[in-house]
Structure 1
Amino acid sequence: MKKGLLIAAALLVSTVAHSFFIYYQSQGGYIAGTNDGLSQMVPFKHFLYETFHKGNLVYAEDFGFGGGIITQLAYYYATSVVFWLTVAAVSLFDVLGLITPDLELWLQLTLVVSIIRLAVVLLLATYAYRLFHVRTFHAFVGAVLYGVSVMYIRHVTFWEFFADAFLWVPLLVIGLERIIRLGRADFFIVISALMLVNNFYFAYINLVFVFVYVVFRQFIHFPEDRLRRRQQWLLYSGSGVLALLLSAFAFIPATYGFLQNERPSLEHEIDLVRFDNILYDSRLFIIPAVFILFALYRPLYRQTAFRLFAAMSLLFTALHFSPHVGSFFNGFSAPQYRWEYLASFTIGGAAAVGLSHWRFERNAFLTAAIGTIVFYLLFGLFGNVTWPVGLVIFGLMLVTVASLWWKPLLAPYIILASCLIVFNGYTKLVLHDQAIVKTNESFVNSSDYDSAEQRELLALVQDDAAPLERLDWMVPLRNNTPIVQSFLGTSLYSSILNGNLLTLYWSDLEIDMGRESVSRYGTLGNRANLHHLLSSPYWMRHNNVASEAPYGFTLLAESDRYAVYESETRLPFVRTTTSTYRQDALKDASILTREQAMLTGVILEDGNEAPLPAQSLNFTMEATDAELEAETLRVTMDDGGIDLIPDVPATATGDLYVSFNIRKLEGDGFFIKLGGYRTTRKPEASIYRTDLTSMTLRTPMSERIPLRLPEGTYALENVTVEWEDYATLTNVLQETNQRPDIPVTWDGPDLDFTIEDAEPGTYAVLPVPFERGWRASVNGEARDVLPANYAFSAIQLDQGRNEVELTYRPPFFRITTAMTLLGLVLFISYLIYVRRKEHPFT
């Protein structure tokens, strides 16, 4: 095949593979899972494009409470090669006035990028397979088996950036073969460095593949191999070091972001084996019939290349059934099945070699054909396959087997057609019908995602708010609503987050989010103190829960469905204090005590004062449709539980903070209602639970507080009730109002403010998340940025006037920049060296 014909074929096959999604998008649909697709993938692409065009390449103040772009978004798109190429193209069309780069455009671009990406994958895999003495057309067929696989389109639909992983495997194989055959590591170094920059998570998976491939190549040799084993390992090691140096500027901060993230360890046992019907209806990995036939056809094992690819394919197929392997590829966390594209690549290679070296031998073929049919019968009968799917897959298998018997020249075309049929059938029946049937223009513009009614109220708030003031609002279950609707919010959903913020929510302040889940934070638990401390004077909810507005908030505006409340008072963005409290001394203090300490001073690792404890109340408990014995609560009907009756004066105002430890003994998920507030806890088997049982919920003052639960048996321990009369907040507001305003400028990585007449021992306290990478100067002199109030920042000031400047750079910026520059020098030196020798190291 000529190059032009090969490129055209790759684009044609890729387009046909996406034919159902092309039709779906023409009808107003979008290729994005209703959960992560709409909540993360598309919003993050739009967000990063807008952030980059503002000139913010390393930090964004509107990423939740603020966060480093590389440390928290490199897992997604921040350093993705494909995304940066897309940004370049979109920017060009934007400058020419041909497009509007809004959220809808990024929804539509998923299809275009996927078609182009898959075509490139086919071309790269074809080139890789040709290195093993495979005809171009047969290599292309093998590439289709690799790229046009169910995992590719599954990734595109749910976690679009996952699909980029398909690009690197053939490139790595090309680089490895250049080392083994030519003694040249230049290509492998460049590809490895780009892969490490692109995505550290899939770099880990791909490097495992590199190790497996290299080990197999130690025992399976080709006539072209020039390097001895020892020389190969020297080049592998040196290449790895150079690639790490070149990628250090992005790879190290991204890895640091992953390591400082907080995620509970998996508590329940991992199954030894997990059955998956890989011949018919697996959602992850469907083996083509041609590979089953070839794997059973003994004459093909005379080919060295077939032995290489078949052996790796059989290994990866066996590993697919092990959840422990899924855990290994997911960083020894909960099993995730994202690595099976490695098996698709080796299967494609085996098929390409088998087609190119096909020689019909009757007895061997009959044995292989019968064995293939038996496998399909067994998996079909015992795999709970639906009849329509089973008949189609079984029929395609029979046609494939028959073609290799009667018309071998026709077999590649049948394999291509079968692959496209399975791909589009999976797209329609699994991805569309079961997952994204509602992902369309109507849903995206609905109240479940981003409605015009919500936008109108948001516009009103943004007109009213000061530049750094936040709004506590998110569409239920969508913590990235602030990114979607472009406002400063209090919620975020990402697999990699600032670990300090997560522990703040989970344990330091026990801020309930309305549901239990990892990888996200959201809302401030309707707690007025936190709204003041974190510059969040606006609160928006559905009308039916408006009664839960934080204390002191009054109605600002409302629509048919929603209401916006505003705090009548404000604390400044930058507060100053001379009172410091030691964080360790507050370990046994109540949550409300910690809140009040944050108001009256600042909590530091080396504070020196003790805060006054919050007002604890006596109370009694009465069971309703439940039985309470010691610390065991048996709820006999849904919405049963206990009533808490606090001992407070009849004229008391303010809020009550109710704290308790709770766990459902049956282990399933459950809801909790306290007064008018409702939250949920996940089943103990869920991989997304926080594994924390301690809770603190705020509720408006009441003589009787109903705590309601579903039917079941609960361990209910350490119940306490505290009274927040907001005297502390009122006093702090009065003191603050007597001080001059502190103008603040915060633009991405730069934050500046000036404080006049600071007393000795004064600290400036900011609601800016503490993160490695912040540097401060006070009156031109370097000053440490201190972790304060568990997750935020403080700076010690000088007496008198203080001009404060904060600047953010990615963690280890100077070291990683030096490493990358050193890597460039060494790599250029290596290129100069190898140009002088035709075959270095051989």
Structure 2
Amino acid sequence: MKNVILIVAAFLVSIVAHAFFIYYQSQGGYIAGPNDGLSQMVPFKHFLYETFHKGNLVYAEDFGFGGGVITQLAYYYATSVVFWLTVAVVSLFDVLGLVTPDLELWLQLALVVSIVRLAVVFVLTTYAYRLFHVQTLYAFAGAVVYGVSVMYIRHVTFWEFFADAFLWVPLLVIGLERIIRLGRADLFIAVSALMLVNNFYFAYINLVFVLVYVLFRQFIRFPEDRLRRRHQWMLYSGSGVLALLLSAFAFVPATYGFLQNERPSLAHDIPWLRPDNVLYDSTILIIPAVFVLLALYRPLYRHTAFRLFASMSLLFIVLHFSPHVGSFFNGFSAPQFRWEYLASFTMGGAVAVGLSQWRFEMRAFLIAAAGTVTLYLLFGLVGDVASWPVSLVIFFLMLATVASLWWKPALAPYVLIASCLIVFNGYTKLILHDKSIVNTNEAFVNSSSYDSAEQRELIDVVKADAGPLERLDWMVHLRNNTPIVQSFLGTSLYSSILNGNLLTFYWRDLEIDMLRESVSRYGTLGNRANLHHLLSSPYWMRNQNVSSEVPYGFDLLAETERYAAYESETRLPFVRTTTSTYRQADLEDASVLTREQAMLSGVILEDGSDTPTPAQSIDFTTEDVEAALVGDTLRVTSEEGGIDLIPDVPEDAIGDLYVSFNIRKLEGDGFFIKLGGYRTTRKPEASIYRTDLTSMTLRTPLADRVPLRLPEGTYTLENVTVEWEDYATLESVIDETDARPEIPVTWDGPDLDFTVEEAAPGTYAVLPVPFERGWSARVNGEKRDVLQANYAFSAIQLDEGRNDVELTYRPPFFTITTALSLLGLGLFFGYLLYLRRKEHPFT
């Protein structure tokens, strides 16, 4: 009966905690941040659901240019336990005809999942705190301190899968206590393995917590502890190894995906300290008044459990103020403060034990109360607070907490729960809603800024005209996952974990501009016709006002009032064959256009034999326009000034110009670059999302005068070159491939098959399939290596004559990780049988 009451209470408190969001969703709003929430969280859930239901469990050809599901999406939802449980429920309702699993459903489900998840967090955490001889009411109050924290709802709103991390901490503590007290590691092994499968990133954070907890427990012991320290470490080590074995099938490829990702190192120094008002309006960690009071109440330190949780809490609170700690928990990258739910858990434990062990002592209470009020006055008067009304509410709640412990301690848990719920809903309304998601609603989701009917109308025209593997270059401004949202094969993607080869292909190898500088994404093909042909992307769609930037050789296919779609007059086949090979190292000093043409006329490999033909470099002069160029320094004196490039090309010339240069703004702030009618932006040097690359290559239609415009400021402008692309190479390659037999291709998730009828000796098949560890090939039934070609894509050496080629994708290290997981499963079941037969020998 007590368990039933606990579960009911957990759901009631969870519902009240989400009260404002329940109201907001009833008014047509959605619980999703306008940036990552709408750009990643919701699209990825919808995408994975559709991908899995199509049977593509390990690879998706419509994930950008194509990518492994586990390697690139395990960070999000691909191996998430909560997501898979949600998929099971949605699938059942889908079969019964009760729901339509579209994007809108996943937007609405975020609230439902959050309510259920938070209730489960309450229950698990209550059980964890009860292990320390805490009555259920006080344990539940402590669980509310943990779950009803600003970090939880912040995670739900912006990065929904982050909130799953709250589930694992209490389970880990229960598992650790079973080891220390009973000598049984079964639960800890199972929880650790599931956690490693669920999300490798938060597994790292939680395992750091495990280490901290274990170290504290070495010195803070309880009478019921039965294992000696050295025996504990033996079980910890063995459990960790067994958990790694069990999770290997998912953890290893996910970790590999993280390691092969490309992200520039942080270019600026990380400060040691960061001020934050943790008593009033921190966006990450608000310390409840009851913890402050209990931490200052000296008699509680007589209790071992209070010392344990209070000391860990004070440690985490101190670490909260250091960006270096944020960098440590973020894999030594840019500081992120996603780990601070750990502090909420230990504070919840301290509150649960403190309330349970409360004994009023006047002198100690007056000192603690005076210290609490003084701290709140100092943080309120001296600290940076968002608004006085908010500060007054927080201060009043603090006084109510102090008063309840003085006059009626039995009311303290209820005052605490009410205070947490007030702060939680206030934070939800004033910080999350008013400052971030006020416009995240049905109207916005159906607008031109995300997914309008007019855009879909034109996309449907393109999809009806396109071949099965042909791509469309289109994305809504700042929304690189538009192809996922609008369900078409595209050329853009936004994810924290991406194929590192593709990122370097964009950033360095081909210097493809993406309309803005940013890490963790690629998008568009820079309006470069050669790349459109090479990557099977014969369609280009834009707003009408930038239609002048259409790639060379593209004609209008269809248009609406605001948008226009264009189609290339010509195509290159999805699978090209060539006998011309170029050595990648020989092209290190070549221009971007030279590399592009080499990819067209042959294939760039690690080992090649042919000599590439340099692109046509042309002379040019410059004229200053509201600016002064002296050497490599350009000073722009107006809101939009710069230089005009005057190329020396024949009057009857056709084609495009490729303008390359190195640029950096000396003031260090962000800026735009306009070349002809093309506009792109660069981030401030202090931004953690900049690529730290200054070399650029921009394509522009051939003209007598090409304006290069920048905002007011001082710039370093170096190595300016202009090359002329007349597309003779492209036209020659098109003529050659048109004369060859068609190569039929079938690509279905992890399986790609094609046949080449008449291959000459030394022929390579070149595919616009991203090179990724996990692909294997068979040519006429014999194994053949899949080669990294054209920097980021794939090629296969063929035999002379007919070639039946079969490519298959499996997650990296699939055979060995599957074997390791099966071995771990066998060992785990053996351990369970051992525990059933006899008590652990260490106890």
Shorter-chain TM-score: what band?
over 0.9
The aligned residue for residue 518 of structure 1 is 519
Give the match for residue 213 of structure 1.
213
Q: Tell me which residue corresponds to 1:315.
A: 315
The residue number in structure 1 matching 2:490 is 489
Alpha-carbon distance in 2 for matches of 1:266, 1:757? 51
| Distance in 1 between residues matched to 2:504 and 2:639, nearest whole Å | 32
Q: Aligned partners of 1:752, 1:840: CA distance in 2, in Å? A: 57
Matching residue of 1:568: 569
Write the mapping of 1:95-494 to structure 2, written as runs, cut at 5 A: 95-385=95-385, 386-494=387-495
Matches within 5 A, 1:419-818: 419-818=420-819
CA apart distance, 1:833 = 1.4
Residues 689-709 of structure 1 show CA distances to partners (whole Å, capped at 9, x for unaligned) of 000000000000000010000
Give the Cα separation in 2 of the matches to 1:768 and 1:114: 38
Letter in 2 for 1:628: L
Mapped to 1, the partners of 2:434 and 2:89 lie a distance apart of: 32
Q: Secondary structure at the match of 1:64?
A: coil
**Amino acid aligned to 1:321:** F
1:262-293 CA-to-partner distances (Å, cap 9, x unmatched) read 00000100011001100000000000000000
Q: Secondary structure at the match of 2:409?
A: coil
Offset, 1:840: 3.4
Distance in 2 of aligned mates of 1:757 and 1:450? 45
In structure 2, what is the Cα distance between the partners aligned to 1:57 and 1:426?
Answer: 39
Structure 2 CA distance for aligned equivalents of residues 837 and 712 of structure 1: 77
Instruction: State the 1:408 CA deviation.
Output: 0.4
Question: Are the aligned partners of 1:778 and 1:802 in contact in 2 as well (CA < 8 Å)?
Answer: yes
Q: Amino acid of the residue matched to residue 267 of structure 2?
A: E
The SS at the match of 2:181 is helix
Shift, 1:838, TM fit: 2.4
Report the residue type matching 1:814 in the other structure: T
Q: The residue matched to 1:659 in structure 2 has which SS?
A: strand
- Indicate if the aligned counterparts of 1:298 and 1:364 stay in contact, CA closer than 8 A: yes
RMSD: 0.5
Distance 1:659 1:841 in 2: 69
Give the CA deviation at 1:837.
Answer: 1.5
Q: Distance in 1 between matches of 2:227 and 2:257?
A: 39
Specify the alignment match of 2:43 in structure 1. Answer: 43
- CA deviation string 1:182-221 (max 9, x = no partner): 0000000000000000000000000000000000000000
CA contact 1:246–1:820 (8 Å) conserved in 2: yes
Q: Which amino acid aligns with 1:389?
A: V
How many Å separate the matches in 2 of 1:248 and 1:4? 37
Deviations 1:591-619 (A, max 9, x none): 00000000000000011111100000000
Equivalent position amino acid for 1:456 in 2: E
Cα pair 1:205 1:339 within 8 Å, conserved: yes
Q: Retained in 2: the 8 A contact 1:184–1:840?
A: no
CA positional deviation for 1:383: 1.7
Distance 2:429 2:294 in 1: 29
Distance in 2, Cα, partners of 1:665 & 1:621: 21
Pairwise CA distance, 1:841: 1.6
Partners in 2 of 1:794 and 1:383 — Cα distance? 61
Cα distance, 1:829 vs. partner?
Answer: 1.4
Counterpart CA distance in 1 for 2:143 and 2:839 is 31
Aligned-pair distance for 1:839?
3.6
Cα distance in structure 2, aligned partners of 1:27 and 1:832: 54
> Aligned partner of 1:4: which letter?
V
> Which segment drifts farther, 55-64 or 824-833?
824-833
Query: Could you tell me how far apart the structure 2 residues matched to 1:4 and 1:178 are?
Result: 24
Instruction: Give the TM-score of the pair, scaled to structure 2.
Output: 1.00
Aligned-pair CA distance for 1:426: 0.1
Asked whether the equivalents of residues 834 and 840 of structure 1 are also in contact (C-alpha less than 8 Å), the reply is no
> CA offsets per residue over residues 375-427 of structure 1, 9 Å max, x none?
00010012222110000000000000000000101111000000000000000
Structure 1 Cα separation of the partners of residues 482 and 267 of structure 2? 31
**Aligned counterparts of 2:417 and 2:801: Cα–Cα separation in 1:** 77
Instruction: Please list the CA deviations of residues 544-577 of structure 1 after superposition, one character each: whole Å capped at 9, or x if unmatched.
Output: 0000000000000110000000000000000000
Deviation at 1:492, TM superposition (A): 0.0
Is 383-392 or 594-603 further displaced after alignment? Answer: 383-392
Contact kept in structure 2, 1:777 and 1:805, CA below 8 Å: yes
Alignment partner, residue 831 of structure 1? 832
1:110-146 Cα distance to aligned partner (Å, 9 max, x none): 0000000000000000000000000001000000000
Letter in 2 for 1:185: A
Shift of 1:622: 0.8
Aligned counterparts of 1:157 and 1:610: Cα–Cα separation in 2: 54
- Give the conservation status (yes or no) of the 8 Å contact 1:624–1:643: yes
1:839 and 1:607 mapped to 2: Cα distance? 62
SS in 2 for 1:410: helix
Could you tell me which runs of 5 or more consecutive residues in structure 2 were left unpaired when the two chains were aligned: none
**Aligned 8 A contact 1:659 1:697 in 2:** yes
CA contact (8 A) 1:68 1:810 kept: yes
Cα distance in 1 for partners of 2:212, 2:3 equals 31
Aligned equivalents of 1:235 and 1:396: distance in 2?
45
**1:467-500 CA-partner distances (Å, limit 9, x unpaired):** 0000000000000000000000000000000000
Q: Is the 8 A contact 1:746 1:752 kept in 2?
A: yes
For 2:215 and 2:200, how far apart are their aligned partners in 1?
Answer: 22
Letter in 1 for 2:388: W
Using the alignment, how far apart are the partners of 1:410 and 1:516 within structure 2?
Answer: 55
1:90 Cα offset (Å): 0.2
The amino acid across from 1:783 in the alignment is: R
8 Å CA contact 1:156, 1:163 repeated in 2: yes
Instruction: Identify unmatched segments of 5+ residues in structure 1.
Output: none
User: Which secondary structure state, in structure 2, belongs to the residue aligned with residue 566 of structure 1?
Assistant: strand
C-alpha contact 1:71 1:255 (8 A) present in aligned 2: yes
Q: CA deviation at 1:647?
A: 0.4
Q: SS at 2:788's partner residue? A: strand
CA distance in 1, matches of 2:691, 2:381: 40
1:212-242: per-residue Cα shift (whole Å, max 9, x none)?
Answer: 0000000000011000000000000000000
The sequence identity of aligned pairs, in percent, is: 83
2:270 match: secondary structure = coil
The residue matched to 1:409 in structure 2 has which SS? helix
Question: How many residue pairs get matched?
Answer: 842
Distance 2:287 2:741 in 1: 70
Matches of 1:327 and 1:39, distance apart in 2: 24
Distance in 1 (alpha carbons) for counterparts of 2:842 and 2:563: 71
User: What is the TM-score with the length of structure 1 in the denominator?
Assistant: 1.00
Match of 1:822? 823
* Amino acid in structure 1 at the alignment position of 2:829: I
Aligned-partner Cα distance in 2 for 1:713–1:759: 56
